Amino acid sequence: MTIQITKPEVEALINQRLQSGGFKDAEDVILQALQSSPSKPSTTPQPDTAHPEKSLREVFEAVKGLADDLDFSRNPSTGRPADLS
């Protein structure tokens, strides 16, 4: 497989990484970058870009009442018998 790099900024980044001494060649730089990136692009918005202008109060007001129908009472089941003697 042959990969051709056409953007000068990408080539500059690879050369910068090579000069740092942590990589032996351009292929090693690309391999490390691919291994450290997620295999699928994220489709969910990042937390800092999702709603940057909302206050914490506005966020809580938006979800208020969503869990009102949940039952958090204790399960009356006695479970397994335990011999504590």
CA–chain centroid gap for 5, Å, is 28
Is pLDDT of 7 > 80? yes
**Domain range holding 2?**
1-37
Q: How far is CA 48 from CA 11, 21, 40, 54, 58, in A?
A: 29, 33, 20, 11, 15
User: How many whole angstroms separate alpha carbon 55 and alpha carbon 7?
Assistant: 40
User: Percent of the chain, pLDDT > 90?
Assistant: 0
pTM for this model (two decimals)? 0.43
User: Percent of the chain, pLDDT > 70?
Assistant: 85
The total number of structural domains that make up the chain = 1
| 29-49: pLDDT as tens digits | 888 888 888 777 666 666 655
Is 1 a member of any domain? yes
Is 26 a member of any domain? yes
Is pLDDT of 26 > 80? yes
